[in-house]
Chains A and B, each alone.
Chain A
Amino acid sequence: MSSVDFSWLIGGPQGSGVESGANIFSRVCAEMGYQVFGKREFYSNIKGEHSYFTVRIADKKIHSNVNAVNLMASFDAETIFRHYDEVISGGGIIYDSDIVETKTDAVHTLDAPFKERLHKELESKNKPFTVAGVLEIAKEKGVLLFPVSFKSVLLTLSEETENPRLKGLIRMYNVIGVSLSLGLVKMPTDSLQKTINNIFSKKPEIAKINQQTATYSYNYAAAKFENFNYTLSGTQKEPGTLLVQGFQGTALGKMACGCRFQPYYPITPASDESVYLESNEILEIIGDRPGSTAVIQTEDEISAMGMTIGGALTGTRSATCTSGPGFALMTEMLGWAGINEVPIVITAYQRSGPSTGLPTRHGQDDLLFTVFAGHGDFPKIVYASGEIEESFYDTGNCFNYADTFQVPVIHMMDKFHASSVITCKRFDTEKISIDRGKLLEKVEYGYRRFEFTEDGISPRSRLGMDNGIFWDTGDESDEMGHITEDPYLRVKMMDKRMSRLDLILKQIPENEQLVSFGIEDFTIISWGSTIGPVRDALDMLKKDGINIGLIQLKLMHPFPAEYVTSLLKDATTIIDVEANHSGQLGKIFKQNTGRDVDYHVLKYTGRAMTSTEVYDALKKIVENKAEKREVLMHGA
């Protein structure tokens, strides 16, 4: 077998263990040396609505999901209705044979617009509105069907193990689904045992039941089903590989770079980061007593931001973490941090807006908002991470920028990051440098917080420092920090603060401002999590002999206009790829460089792009068959 590139999908009602099923599958694959790229999709709902997890594995580095599903593990009807058409010819569907007669109308969580589309499709193919109906379509396409009575599996198991509780334990359906899948592809079984033991290491009783269920289901599939086209026997594991979820990159980055204060208010998809920080609040410090992160749940995002600023004034590296609606509440204070030159980091996990929008879905909707956030002119940095691995190191950089330039830094992440689970190289804390800029360790007499200096940045005292007394105010102020309305002083102060934007562009190294993956006639500009699907799409195009360039923007504000312009001088066609409606990066690009982008590839369904659909759109563009605005739609 040549290279492995295999996509597995598991779905089910929220609360039925889809996520833990995917966790087991991902861990097993990672354990067997494969690279993993998994992504979770879910409704804004606690229990009952449909959620699914797509895990793509390969024996080379991957950065995204693809459209094609090779194997689907389902244990309810809805998953089959919603995803049967994603499974490709030669792929397989594992399903519960007890539910084939389930009608679409019996699944109350199928929403009307979806049902209408599905019925139309079934009608056109002359199929009944049942699970059996859609499975027939799949079968006709060449999909292999693997029926299993989940109820009988539990029944047999319960008899074999003399454990009557197992009989009705539908909580085990996810483990059955995963183990059937692994048995089907003949994944070496010891990795499954090991993973289950690891996951349930603190609950030996539960581990045992899961173990028995897994082994039984694995053997069941291996014995009963043959002729599946895919065998996953494992590959060389790279030492030092992590399996991480998106929010862990920024959270671990914060721990490593000395962020010790994080007030926050719960919001999807941002709060996972804060909860993770709090779960690991006590920190080991090399050669010193333990450190800690004070994570404070506040009454709202305004308070989170106010506390963050208050913490930063004491010299503590302070941050908050939020999403679009929460950031909207913080913007008045962002200006306060700007005029008072307070270094803070706001980690912004974007989701789909406007307003509440699609609260659990992906979107890169807030670029323009963050760049222009706050009333009045003040300097700030907007910085965007592309991939999860990067976000660890970027977090460290963001704090250094904040301290060095004494500005608020908005670190852009998004929902695609937050709910992706990937393999990557172990984070290297030794690469996290700490630069506190002009933060003082000691103050002599006559201190002036906003003293005019050559580079426009004043030495910074902190609350509680001997002789370091200063005043802050949201009003325009003099060098001491007292209110002034003097027109001359006003201009000097404005110029002092705003001069920082040029300084930022001058001092942040070019390779931190953007990443160039090569410039070609056709060159893409993109940012954030969209970089992953774009990179994979470019690899696919390369195999077709098509070379497209790519610039990943990271420093979104101040925009590195000159650098970008010079890089793109030989590119004849600029393609903007991002996950929002209006092509926000394209707008900023034009505003700063004067150049229009030629094509937009956009997606705002709330689902992340797959590399397949990016590939398709780019190919159309190269073949001159594309609209100026290509809108992507893939994904349930």
Chain B
Amino acid sequence: MALKPAEFKTDVHNDWCPGCGDFGIVNAIQMALADMGVQRDKTAIFSGIGCSGKTSHYINTYGVHTLHGRVLTFAQGAKIANPEMTVVAVGGDGDGLGIGAGHFVAAGRRNVNMTYIIFDNGVYGLTKGQASPTLKLGEKTKSLPSPNTNSNVNPIGLAIASGFTFVARGYSYDVRHLKDLIVQAVKHPGLSFLDVLQPCPTYNDLNTRDWYAGKDLMDEAQKRHSRIYKLEETGYEPTVHYDSEVETNEKLSQALIKSLEWGNKIPTGVFYKNANTTPYTVRLQDKIPNYVENPPAKQNISKDGFSNTDISKILDSLEV
């Protein structure tokens, strides 16, 4: 019987600030897991360090709260060793695109079948609001002594350039839409990336909920002009349908151009989706034919307390 979202909640006290965008994301994850009917003990949430790192403790599946910047390494290791697990990795933008940027790029090249969600708020919240990789050059959030001297990373563009095969953006205050994106991401056969815009009410006084809602753009007639819009409502087609270089390049370019859109119009939804790229599982299967049926975690390595591995042929070849 499918579980309800509430059954994916733990009773751990949640200590995020009131109004934090993270709540929307954790709710969306729980709703998505319930929606997909995954088994709790066949699912693992891996998290990085920072406010978002606590996510794994709030979700009632296996939860592995790892180290700053390194969440993808732990998650990929687990997924490769036990491919039957549903693996979702989460972390902040500082975690994934600052200290962890190398792993982000390398993960894209591997295309392990799992999902990575970045909680993107432009600041390092838990260390009191320093500039993080997605904050724009020259912007000065509340606790910065002076404006940001670095240009920002474009998370969607970087994911596309790195080889992620599903790239999307959600907004933490549009929980239903975000839930749908998570479901699509988890179901995607390969590495999926979700950039989730997540206002930090305490330290980011620029990209606030009101800013995303476009309150500052209200015209005289008091009509609202939300900055956020959904790609799927504009006829944007993110999917590579055929395993052709021409179509792939076209969709990649389109997504890259779309990823540059920011300011008064911010796209959400799926930017790019390509199920033709072989997932890592298949690449391993090409080398190790029974990898999927008999992955590392399932292998029987002993008999009556002793080795059951027969290395005698190798030893024969070394014998003189």
How far is A433 from B44 in the complex, measured between Cα atoms in Å? 32
B73 and A310 within 8 A (CB):
yes
Minimum CB distance partner of A313 in chain B: B78
Closest 10 CB pairs of A and B: A310-B77, A306-B73, A258-B301, A307-B77, A299-B106, A434-B302, A473-B65, A310-B78, A311-B81, A260-B296
Q: Mark B48-80, 1 if CB is under 8 A from A, else 0.
A: 010000101100111111110010111111111
- Verify if A288 is at the interface (C-beta below 8 Å from B): yes
B106 touches A311 (CB 8 A): no
Query: Are A482 and B315 also in contact (CB < 8 A) when A282-B288, A310-B74, A311-B78 are?
Result: no
Q: Which of A256, A305, A336, A468 contacts B311 (CB 8 A)?
A: A256
Residues of B within 8 A of A471 (CB): 56-57, 62-65
Q: A294 touching B80 by the CB < 8 A rule?
A: yes
Per the 8 Å Cβ criterion, residues 87-120 of B in contact with A are 102-103, 105-106
Of A210-218, A357-365, A421-429, A579-587, the stretch lying at the interface with chain B is: A421-429
CB pair A429 B78 closer than 8 Å = no
**B308 touching A287, Cβ below 8 Å:** yes
Contact at A474–B309, with CB atoms within 8 Å?
A: no
Q: A288-B308, A294-B296, A303-B73 are in contact. List 13 more A-B contacts (CB 8 A).
A: A241-B319, A283-B309, A283-B311, A285-B310, A286-B309, A287-B308, A290-B294, A294-B291, A296-B80, A316-B299, A336-B66, A464-B85, A471-B62
Interface string of A289-306 (1 = CB under 8 A from B): 111111010111011111
What residues of B have a CB within 8 angstroms of the CB of A293 in the complex? Answer: 296
**Is the CB–CB distance between B73 and A462 below 8 Å?**
no
A-chain residues with CB within 8 Å of residue B106 when the two chains form the complex: 298-299, 303
Q: Which of A106-114, A242-250, A406-414, A513-521 lies at the binding interface?
A: A242-250
Residue A343, interface by CB 8 Å: no
- Which of A258, A310, A332, A475 makes the CB contact (< 8 A) with B65? A475
Which of B41, B70, B299 is most buried by chain A, counting CB atoms within 10 A of its CB?
B299
- Contact partner of A482 (CB less than 8 A), chosen from B46, B49, B57, B295, is B57
Residues of A contacting B161 with CB < 8 Å? none
| In contact, B301 and A260 (Cβ under 8 angstroms) | yes
Least CB distance, B71 to chain A, in whole angstroms: 8
* Least distance between A36 CB and chain B CB atoms (Å): 9
* Chain A 394-418 per-residue mask, 1 if CB under 8 angstroms from chain B, else 0: 0010000000000000000000000
Contact A302 B300 (CB under 8 A): no
Do A463 and B85 form a contact, CB below 8 Å, given A299-B102, A314-B296, A471-B56?
A: yes
B223 at the interface (CB under 8 A from A): no
Residue in B70, B314, B320 with the greatest tally of chain A CB atoms within 10 Å: B320
Q: Is B301 in contact with A333, judged by CB distance below 8 angstroms?
A: no
**For the complex, what is the distance from the CA of A178 to the CA of B70, rounded to whole Å?**
51
Among B66, B284, B309, B315, the one with the most A-chain Cβ atoms within 10 Å of its Cβ is B309
Considering only residues 411-455 of chain A, those with a C-beta below 8 Å from chain B are 423, 426-427, 429-430, 432-436
CA distance A42 to B4 in the complex (A): 63
Complex interface bits, B283-316 against A, C-beta within 8 A gives 1, otherwise 0: 0100110110111110111110111111111110
How many angstroms from the CA of A285 to the CA of B308 in the assembled complex?
6
- A473 vs B67: C-alpha distance when bound (angstroms): 9
What are the interface flags for B257-277 relative to A under an 8 Å C-beta threshold, 1 for contact and 0 otherwise?
000000000000000000000
Interface residues of B (CB under 8 A from A): 10, 12, 40-42, 44, 46, 49, 54, 56-57, 60-67, 70, 72-82, 84-85, 102-103, 105-106, 284, 287-288, 290-291, 293-297, 299-303, 305-315, 318-320
Of B301, B311, B318, the residue contacting A317 (CB under 8 A) is B301
* Interchain CB contact (< 8 A) of B67 among A294, A304, A474: A474
Contacts of A285 in B (CB 8 A): 299-300, 308-310
Residue from A237, A257, A289 in contact with B307 in the complex, judged by beta carbons closer than 8 Å: A257
Is A555 positioned at the interface, with any CB of B under 8 Å from its CB? no
Q: Does A252 reach chain B (CB closer than 8 Å)?
A: yes
- Give the dominant DSSP class at A's interface: mixed
| Complex alpha-carbon distance, A315 and B303, angstroms | 17
Contact A464:B311 (CB < 8 A) given known A261-B77, A316-B296, A474-B66: no
Q: Are A252 and B314 in contact (CB under 8 A)?
A: yes
Measured CA separation A289–B7 after assembly (Å): 38
Q: Mark contacts of A149-182 with chain B using CB atoms, 8 A cut-off: 1 yes-contact digit, 0 otherwise.
A: 0000000000000000000000000000000000
Q: Contacts A307-B77, A462-B297, A463-B82 hold; do A294 and B288 have CB atoms under 8 A apart?
A: yes
Known A-B contacts A252-B311, A290-B290; A298 and B73 likewise in contact (beta carbons under 8 Å): yes
Q: Which of B40, B300, B306 contacts A288 (CB 8 A)?
A: B300
Q: Which chain A residues border B12 with CB–CB below 8 Å?
A: 482
Interface: A43 (CB within 8 A):
no
The answer on a CB contact under 8 Å between B65 and A469 is no
Q: Mark A504-548, 1 if CB is under 8 A from B, else 0.
A: 000000000000000000000000000000000000000000000
A256: contacting residue among B295, B307, B318, CB under 8 A: B307
Q: Which residue of A lies closest to B307 (CB)?
A: A432
CB contact under 8 A between A242 and B319, given known A311-B296, A432-B307, A469-B60: yes
B46: which A residues are within 8 A, CB to CB? Answer: 310
Q: List 14 A-B contacts (CB under 8 A).
A: A256-B311, A289-B293, A294-B284, A302-B70, A310-B77, A310-B79, A310-B80, A311-B80, A316-B81, A318-B81, A432-B306, A465-B41, A472-B66, A474-B66
Given contacts A258-B307, A281-B288, A310-B78, contact A31 B66 (CB under 8 A): no
CB of A292 within 8 A of CB of B294, answer yes
Q: In angstroms, how far is the closest chain B Cβ from the Cβ of A298?
A: 7
Task: Give the distance in Å from the alpha carbon of A284 to the alpha carbon of B290 in the complex.
Answer: 12
Enumerate chain B residues within 8 angstroms of A290, measured Cβ to Cβ: 290, 294
Q: Given A243, A257, A306, A423, which contacts B74 in the complex, CB threshold below 8 Å?
A: A306
Q: For residue A286, which residues in chain B have a CB less than 8 angstroms away from its CB? A: 303, 308-310
Q: In this complex, what residue of A is CB-closest to B313?
A: A284
Q: Given A294-B288, A482-B12, are A31 and B320 also a contact pair (CB < 8 Å)?
A: yes
Q: In the complex the two chains form, is A314's CB within 8 Å of B318's CB? A: no
CA A317 – CA B308 in complex, angstroms? 14
A45 at the interface (CB under 8 A from B): no
Interfacial chain B residues near A468, Cβ < 8 Å = 41
Bound form: Cα–Cα A311–B295 in Å:
11
The chain B residue with its CB closest to the CB of A31 is B320
Q: Nearest residue in B to A467 (C-beta to C-beta)? A: B41
A462 partner residues in chain B, CB cutoff 8 A: 297
Q: Chain A contacts of B301 at CB under 8 A?
A: 257-258, 260, 291, 317, 434
Contacts of A332 in B (CB 8 A): 67
Select A464's contact among B70, B75, B297, beta carbons within 8 Å: B297
Report the Cα distance A276→B61, complex, angstroms. 37
Q: Write the chain B residue with the least CB distance to A303.
A: B73
Interface centre among B106, B288, B300, B301 (most CB of A within 10 A): B301
In the bound assembly, the distance between CA atoms of A472 and B70 in angstroms comes to 14
Judge whether B77 and A318 touch: CB under 8 Å.
yes
Q: Closest B-chain residue to A291, C-beta based? A: B299
Q: Considering the complex, give the chain A residue whose CB is closest to the CB of B308.
A: A286
The winner among B42, B84, B105, B314 for most chain A CB atoms within 10 A is B314
A473 to B12, CA, bound (A): 14
Distance of A285 Cα from B64 Cα, bound (Å): 32
Residues of B within 8 A of A434 (CB): 301-302, 305-307
Q: Is the CB of B309 within 8 A of A310?
A: no
Determine if A242 and B77 form an interchain contact, defined as CB atoms under 8 angstroms apart: no
Contacts of B80 in A (CB 8 A): 261, 294, 296, 307, 310-311
User: In the assembled complex, how far is the CB of residue B147 from the closest CB belonging to chain A, in whole angstroms?
Assistant: 32
Could you tell me if A314 and B85 are in contact, using CB atoms closer than 8 angstroms?
A: yes
Per the 8 Å Cβ criterion, residues 312-350 of A in contact with B are 313-318, 332-333, 336
